[in-house]
Structure 1
Amino acid sequence: MISRREVMGGAVASTALLAAGGVQAAGDDAALKALLDRLAKGGRADQKLATLSAFSPTPLSPAARLDYDAVLSAFTTEDDIVRRFPFGAGATSPYVVTTRSGTWLKAADAAKSGDTAADAVKRLDAETARIAEDAAKGVVLPAFVIDKVAAGLAETATAVASAPELAAALGRQRSVLIALRPQAGKEIGVGRFKDGETYYALLLKAAMGADITPSQAWARASAAARALTARADRLLKAQGLSRGTVGARLATLSRDERWLYSDDDAGRDRLTADMNAWLTRAVSRLPASFATVAPGSLTVRMSRMSPADEAARRQGYREAPAFDGTRSGAYFADLSTIRTRPGWTLPSVVHHESVAGHMVQMPLEERSGAHPLRSRMAFPGFSEGWAIYAEQLADEEGAFAGDPLAELGYIQWMLFRVGRLLADLGVHHKGWSVEKATVFLNDLQGPPPVFSPVSQGLERIAIGPAASAGQGLAWLELVRLREESRKRLGAAFDLRRFHDAVLVPGPLPLSMMRARVLGAA
């Protein structure tokens, strides 16, 4: 019998639990937490699933049972992906090495120590062997990503020339990738893999915590894009912009000097003050839509970065407030290229990054006590999807009433959100090329309202299929769930109660969230 002390003390590895032949560990909250802590460190998908399945959830508290059920659901999907599609980096990417993953990214640091360098050589060669094995199954990085990784490997090999064995390992990996480039073809999505449609559907399921086919996702996203485009067209025409695509007209408006801030301290201070004015109004609306709000969410602020961060062109970042307000929250906007950020694009940033977006959701997640493994795996797109939902909620609450330019800024942001969703689906479900996806996004949204080019977003979509789609679908599914609940309850529907049901328990797979919300309805 595996004792609670052994599980809590960390003395029992996954293999030992598996060898126990299904004997159940003591099922209390502390034991589950210790077990999830161990499983969070990684391991084979089948072993993690078997280990957690061997744990008895019967005596768990309601909150701990949510951890158990949510992680078990995520592990089940992960195991299904890895078992049926044994290549790449498991359920996170079909590729072992990319511009964002692989030992090569930390090789320069590894070169500083002989022992670390030797370990890095082993890991590099193991990854190189995996790249070749996956290629035999038809899984090869898109050609444009191969070019970027190959260039990075060459640059890194030069930088670690003082560690010749490490430099040689980097060169071997580069040679294998370059040799595979002709095999990459022109397509960049996973649809070119054997059973790629099924693979992509499973990745969407992992991102959502619920079944949704690529075709269903495409239909819902396309409908949202059409509605947003029609609304943008009306608003742009009211501004005297009636010719060209919506994206082209948004590009024209974004260059209008009337709505740009000066590139100096005065301009940055004025922009920050304008964002805080929108934030004050957003906080005042919280009681009408939320029954449970963290005290810390009421004191968040929009802030300028330090001069050093601005000079380094650090991207925008947030510091989440503590639930009880003992830690204040702030969003630090990226203002390094302030002349590309017209004032009418800012209100939606406030609602997404602070209230009622991340700065409302994150403290409630903290208070829920959800295990980090649940937060990471149950519904990976939930946090970002909630923040997008919060932008729509602000619009529904009348935040932009009487301010057509702020409304237009909101629409552009939503076109950006749904554009990433459609681009993910287009690349992996429809077989779009980089060129087709680029034209589509430029026509739909104009210049991206975030400070990253379209090409960077498409690279992330190519190497991380379903991640961007999962965020956009999270938003659409939250709206669908709300409206289904409203339809069932009729006049008894309470928006505040709905938001509590979604946020207070912490992140849950969409399938579990639907069951809880609609069961309560």
Structure 2
Amino acid sequence: MKILKFIAYGLLSIIILGGSFAAHEWYAKPFFINNFFNREILKQALKSPEMLSQLHMLENIGIRGHNSKLDDDSIAAGDAMIADLKAAKAVLDDYAVEDLSEAEQLSKAIADYLFASVDDFERYRFHNYPVNQLFGAQNGYPSFMESTHEIKIAEDAENYISRLSAVGKKFDQVLEGLKERENRNILPPRFVVDRVLEEMNNFVGTAPKENILYTNLEKKSAEIEGYDNSQVLSDAEKAIQADVYPAYQKLIDYFTALRDKTTEDDGFWKLPEGEGAYKAALRLFTTTDLTADEIHNIGLSEVARIQAEILAILAGEGYDVSAGFSTAIDEMASKEEFYYPDTDEGREQIIADYQVILNEIDKGLGQAFSLRPDTGVEVKRIPAFKEKTAPGAYYQPPAIDGSRPGQFFANLYDIKATPKYSMRTLAYHEGIPGHHFQVAIAMQLEGMPLFRRFSPFTAYVEGWALYAEQVAWEMGFQKDPFDNIGRLQAELFRAVRLVVDTGIHAKRWTRQEAIDYMIANTGMAESDVVSEIERYIVMPGQATSYKIGMMKILELREKAKTALGDKFNLSDFHDVVLKNGAVPLDILEQLVDEYIQGNQA
């Protein structure tokens, strides 16, 4: 449901601020197809106060009431969304392609692709684990309150209290969905239960005044000029004790009782209709029809190729590679020179150095990019309360009104998971010219429906970020051979993902088999490997999108180079890839083919 919501909300600013369709078009088929897109998105956006807070546009016109509410996560709300999408698809089918402009035809093709996934979504909507060690209401709620709920005036602080009081209802809706999955015998693996119980027990075991929900309000409300925050802080303490902690306790009690019903089988193969659900997940995340076997074999081939390149560099640096990849890469990783001190000061230096890396490449991209984001990107540490089970890094887009920059969150829980030779590649992936360039550029594009600025095509989005790592190397930003090993390790990591994701969910690998394979073939820190494998278990198929997307972009670049010869221009190619927002890979190929034909002519 979250993916479908994110597709929907992007159009809100144009509709509310621009009034882009007539009142009667709220019910009838709009004459202009873009008005149809606007209307359907608005219908969904108005149902999500949390996304309205994330977009942060209504506040600019004095509307803040949505900031006192939380999303409806009930099964009924999911039913209503599916019904809305089916009705919208029927209207979209009424628009004849020949009556549309070229740009409108592209929008319709992308929308058709999205709507085609609704049937899979409906059939397999309960094939997931909505409360797990990575995401869910139990950690998403405090993260949302800390990073998204703005506190600039007294009303914002009061709305914060309202959202604390509303958490009980939200968690009851989450429990409703969990029990429906239990009735369908869709149960998480046992380790997921153990992880979330540990997380939630630690959360409620904190004194209310020490909880992030309180300290966040305390800090932000103190910055409101002339505001006495004593009453609101007292209210927050009471709400955390009376509303928040009891809501968490219900989830704790549920998972405690559920644990004995779970097993240590980890793949989707164990679930009713699990094979079909995994096929649907691969289609969704790769935007291809590649089978699990095909993806698995691509992964094995790429692992062998990349390991050979790394060994060649290590040999050139004087390492003994005769014992094989695992031994050689472990020897390199054991060198203390590659790590920061395991202290608060060391972690602060990591964040500062990440920012230096981003500032450097932002100034040095030269003629490779003509499209650039209007907003910058800042580096932040993943909040301590969730970093133990969080991924190594993630990116959060800027606010659409420019009030918040893009944010690259780095996980510093295990200092050994951040070797210096890996930092450039990670910064290029999450920041510049990776996710920040692609996402922020898409958000600022004009002249197209805003749903295309937020399209969740993971193979494109993650494929671009992985491609960006290679572009940075090609442009000379990783001249140190160990930085290049860091880049190749990152690509190897994504190739290994093809093997382990399909291994877990299609070939019945155990969690430990997948962990052992990834450790042996990447040289990653064990703590990172465990987090990653557990991520693939609760997010089937998603990990395959990175390498599949990167390989397609590189294939299309080579196709354009071969066809155009001296006429090929890297900046123009990047424009083609970036200027239409995220798209399925087959549509991206059509766009590149049109670029080739236009330049040949």
User: How has the CA–CA distance of structure 1 residues 232 and 279 changed in structure 2, closer, same or farther, with 3 Å as cutoff?
Assistant: farther
What is the one-letter code of the residue matched to 1:173?
Y
Q: Aligned residue for 2:360?
A: 280
Partner-residue secondary structure (3-state), 1:54: helix
Q: Aligned residue for 1:232?
A: 310
CA distance in 1, matches of 2:407, 2:204: 40
CA distance in 2, matches of 1:189, 1:46: 30
User: How has the CA–CA distance of structure 1 residues 337 and 516 changed in structure 2, closer, same or farther, with 3 Å as cutoff?
Assistant: same
User: Is 1:126 aligned to residue 176 of structure 2?
Assistant: yes
Q: Aligned residue for 2:194?
A: 147
Unaligned runs of 5+ in 2: 1-14, 48-77, 146-159, 207-239, 597-601
Q: Aligned residue for 1:479?
A: 554
Instruction: Quote the offset at 1:473 in angstroms.
Output: 2.0
What is the one-letter code of the residue matched to 1:148?
R
Q: Aligned residue for 1:38?
A: 43
User: How has the CA–CA distance of structure 1 residues 12 and 150 changed in structure 2, closer, same or farther, with 3 Å as cutoff?
Assistant: farther
CA distance in 2, matches of 1:177, 1:11: 50
CA distance in 2, matches of 1:427, 1:240: 34
CA distance in 1, matches of 2:140, 2:378: 34
Q: Aligned residue for 1:52?
A: 89
CA distance in 2, matches of 1:476, 1:462: 24
User: Is 1:74 aligned to residue 114 of structure 2?
Assistant: yes
User: How has the CA–CA distance of structure 1 residues 63 and 147 changed in structure 2, closer, same or farther, with 3 Å as cutoff?
Assistant: same
Instruction: Quote the offset at 1:229 in angstroms.
Output: 0.5
Moved more, 49-58 or 412-421: 49-58
User: Is 1:346 aligned to residue 419 of structure 2?
Assistant: no
Moved more, 163-172 or 204-213: 163-172
User: Is 1:24 aligned to residue 99 of structure 2?
Assistant: no
CA distance in 2, matches of 1:133, 1:317: 34
1:290-309 alignment runs, 5 A limit: 290=369, 292-294=370-372, 296=374
TM-score w.r.t. the length of structure 1 is 0.76
User: How has the CA–CA distance of structure 1 residues 283 and 385 changed in structure 2, closer, same or farther, with 3 Å as cutoff?
Assistant: farther
CA distance in 1, matches of 2:347, 2:44: 49
CA distance in 2, matches of 1:153, 1:325: 34
Identity %: 21
TM-score w.r.t. the length of structure 2 is 0.67
CA distance in 2, matches of 1:399, 1:350: 11
Instruction: Quote the offset at 1:445 in angstroms.
Output: 1.3
Is the Cα–Cα contact under 8 Å of residues 260 and 339 in structure 1 kept in the other structure? yes
Partner-residue secondary structure (3-state), 2:254: helix
Instruction: Quote the offset at 1:379 in angstroms.
Output: 0.7
Partner-residue secondary structure (3-state), 1:477: helix
Q: Aligned residue for 1:20?
A: none
What is the one-letter code of the residue matched to 1:514?
E
Over residues 73-131 of structure 1, what are the superposed CA-to-partner deviations in whole Å (9 max), with x where a residue is unaligned? 11211323423x4x51xxxx523443345555589999999984763574255224302
Q: Aligned residue for 2:132?
A: 98
What is the one-letter code of the residue matched to 2:187?
V
User: How has the CA–CA distance of structure 1 residues 357 and 201 changed in structure 2, closer, same or farther, with 3 Å as cutoff?
Assistant: same
CA RMSD of aligned residues (A): 4.5
CA distance in 2, matches of 1:363, 1:36: 20
What is the one-letter code of the residue matched to 1:254?
A
Q: 2:274 aligns with which of 196, 215, 221?
A: 196
Q: Aligned residue for 2:233?
A: none
User: How has the CA–CA distance of structure 1 residues 10 and 36 changed in structure 2, closer, same or farther, with 3 Å as cutoff?
Assistant: farther
Q: 1:255 aligns with which of 326, 334, 350?
A: 334
CA distance in 2, matches of 1:105, 1:464: 16
User: How has the CA–CA distance of structure 1 residues 442 and 114 changed in structure 2, closer, same or farther, with 3 Å as cutoff?
Assistant: closer
Q: Aligned residue for 2:482?
A: 405
What is the one-letter code of the residue matched to 1:280?
E
Partner-residue secondary structure (3-state), 2:315: helix
User: How has the CA–CA distance of structure 1 residues 171 and 225 changed in structure 2, closer, same or farther, with 3 Å as cutoff?
Assistant: closer
What is the one-letter code of the residue matched to 2:42?
D
Is the Cα–Cα contact under 8 Å of residues 133 and 192 in structure 2 kept in the other structure? yes
Q: Aligned residue for 1:419?
A: 496
Q: Aligned residue for 1:497?
A: 572
Over residues 208-254 of structure 1, what are the superposed CA-to-partner deviations in whole Å (9 max), with x where a residue is unaligned? 33332222222322222211111111222233232545344333323
User: How has the CA–CA distance of structure 1 residues 383 and 118 changed in structure 2, closer, same or farther, with 3 Å as cutoff?
Assistant: closer
Instruction: Quote the offset at 1:513 in angstroms.
Output: 1.3
Is the Cα–Cα contact under 8 Å of residues 282 and 351 in structure 1 kept in the other structure? no
Q: Aligned residue for 1:208?
A: 286
